[in-house]
Structure 1
Amino acid sequence: MNKKSIAALILVTLLTGCTTRQNATTGEQEMNTATKAAIGGAVAGALAGAATGKKNAAIIGAVGGAAIGGGIGYYFDQQEAALRQELLNSGVQVIRVGENELQLIMARGIGFDTGRYNLSSSIFSTLNGVAKVLNEYPKSSLVIIGHTDSVGSSESNLTLSERRAESVADYLIRQNVKSGRLSTLGYGERRPIASNNTTAGRSANRRVEINITAN
C-alpha cells in the first residue's frame, strides 16, 4: 500500500472512530462490525482509488469504501441488538457467525416431538418476535435449517428435518416476511448439538436454525 493509501486509511479510521461492543459469550470488549467493515471498505476503496493514479483518488476511494462497508456493518449491528432484545429469555441463541451473518439457534425456543414437524402453539410468540425484527430489517436473506434427533432412519430424518424447516418458513411468511428472502434446508440427524443418548439431548437436537446474511 502506498503513502496515499495509508494516509487515506488513517483519515477514515479517525473519522469513523473505533467503536466497541461487548462479546455476548466472553464479556470482553471487541471492535464492532460497523467499525471493522468501515476499515475493510476503506482499505479496498483506497487501493482501488490509488490504482487509478488520479490526484486524491485514494482518499476519495477510502471514504466511499468506508461509507459502504460501515453501512452494512452498522445495519447488522442494529439487527443483532434488536434480535437480542426481542428474544430475551426466549431460549433462542443469537450468535454472530461472521461480520455480516447472524445465526438463531432455536433448541429450547422451538421444539418438536420425535417424528413430528408441526409447530406447537407454545412457540408462536417466539416466531412472532423473530418475524417482527426481520420485517424491521428487510435487507437480509435467511436460510432456515431443520435438524432431528437420531430416532428413526437417516432417510426419514432427512425428510423430517426439511419439513421442519419448511414449517418455520411457512409461519414466517404468514407473519409477512417476504418469501423471496427465505430458503430452507434439512440436515437430518447429522449435526447434533447434544447427546442423543438422553431425553434432554434428543429434545435439543430436534431444532431449527436460521442463518441471516446480507441481501
Structure 2
Amino acid sequence: MKYWLALCAVFTLVACTTTDPYSGEEKTSNTAKGAGIGAVAGAVIGAASASKSDRKKGAITGALAGGAIGGGVGAYMDRQEAKLRDELQGSGVQVRREGDRLYLIMPGNITFATGRYEIKSQFYNVLDSVSKVLKEFDQTAIKVSGHTDSTGSDQLNQTLSEQRAESVRQYLIRQDVASGRIQAIGYGPRYPVASNSTAEGREQNRRVELELLPME
C-alpha cells in the first residue's frame, strides 16, 4: 500500500515538472503540487473504502480522482496568477504566490495621499484591472488588509488602516465584484515588512494587501 501511495505521488509530480526558461532549473508547478497531494489523499480514501481484495485498485482509482481535484485548484490559481501579472505589469503592484494563495501588494504612496484613505484617481485604472480578473476568477475569496508604519499614535494608524482597506473593498464592489467574497481588515503598524527606522522601510510598511484564496 505504501508503495502505491508513493508511486502515485511521484508519477504526478514528475509528469508536471517543467524547466524554468530563465534559470534552466527544473521546477514543479503549483498545479503539480496540488495534484500530488490530492493523489495521495485520494489513494488513501480509495483504499480504505474498497474491499481487502480490491484495495490496490481502489487506491489507484482514488489517486486519479484526488489528483484531478488537487491539480484543478492549483491550475485555477496558476491561471489567475498569470492573468494578474499580465494586467499589473508596470503598475507598481507586486504579485506574490504562496502555495494556492496569491497576494497583491499595493504600496500606500501610489494608492493614497499621505494620511488619507481616499484612493488616488490615477490608481483607478489599476484597480479596474484587478477587478476585471477577480470577476473572471470568481471562485476565490478576497481579504483586503491595510497596514501603516509606526509614525503617529497606534489609534490613528489603526483607524487609517481600516479606512484604507475598506476604501479598496468598496471600490471593488462598485466594479461588480461580489461583496460576499470580500473582507476588509486594518492592522495598523502591527505587521511591518521592513524597518520603521528608515524612510524607505516606512514606505514599504504603508501598504494595502489583497490576499486571494480558493473558496473551500
Is the structural similarity TM-score above 0.5? Answer: yes
Contact kept in structure 2, 1:23 and 1:29, CA below 8 Å: no
Q: For the structure 1 residues 153 and 27, does the alpha-carbon distance in structure 2 shift closer, same or farther, using more than 3 Å as the test? A: farther
Describe the shift of the 1:110–1:210 C-alpha distance in structure 2 as closer, same or farther (beyond 3 A): farther
TM-superposed deviation, 1:9? 4.5
Q: TM-score, normalised by structure 2?
A: 0.87
**Could you tell me which residue of structure 1 aligns to residue 138 of structure 2?**
138
Q: 2:66, 2:45 → 1: CA distance?
A: 9
- The one-letter code sitting in structure 2 at the alignment partner of 1:83 is L
Q: Which residue does the alignment assign to 2:15? A: 17
Q: Which residue in the other structure is 1:95 paired with? A: 96
Farther-moved stretch of structure 1 (66-75 vs 151-160): 151-160
Aligned to 1:148: 148
Structure 1, residues 113-150: CA drift from partner, whole Å, max 9, x if none? 33211111011111111111111100000110001122
The aligned runs of 1:103-114 (5 Å cut-off) are 103-107=103-107, 110-114=110-114
Residue of structure 2 equivalent to 1:193:
193
The match for 1:34 is 31
Q: Secondary structure at the match of 1:106?
A: strand
In the aligned structure 1, how far is the partner of 2:91 from the partner of 2:196? 23
Aligned to 2:46: 49
Backbone CA RMSD of aligned residues:
2.5
- Taking the aligned partners of 1:70 and 1:117, their CA distance within structure 2 comes to 39
Contact 1:110 1:207 in 2 (8 A): no
Q: How many residues align?
A: 211
2:192 maps to a residue whose letter is: P
Structure 1 gap segments, 5+ residues each:
none
What residue identity is the alignment partner of 1:106?
Answer: M
Give the partner amino acid of 1:20.
Answer: T
29 and 118 in structure 1: CA distance in 2 versus 1, 3 angstrom threshold: farther
Amino acid of the residue matched to residue 69 of structure 2?
I
Q: Secondary structure at the match of 1:212?
A: strand
Contact map agreement 1:48 1:61 (CA 8 A) in 2: yes
**Counterparts in 2 of 1:116 and 1:8: CA distance versus 1, 3 Å:** closer
TM-score (norm 1): 0.88
Partner amino acid for 1:79?
Q
The residue aligned with 1:69 is 70
- Whether the 8 Å CA contact 1:144–1:185 is kept in 2: the answer is yes
Cα 1:80–1:22 shift into 2, 3 Å: farther
Q: Which has the higher helix share?
A: 2
Secondary structure at the aligned position of 1:141 is classed as strand
Measured against aligned partners, the alpha-carbon deviations of 1:170-201 in whole angstroms (never above 9, x if no partner) come to 00111111101000111112223344445444
Residue 118 of structure 1 pairs with residue 118 of structure 2: yes
Aligned sequence identity (%)? 49
* Aligned match of 1:85: 86
> Mind listing any 5+ residue stretches in structure 2 that lack a counterpart?
none
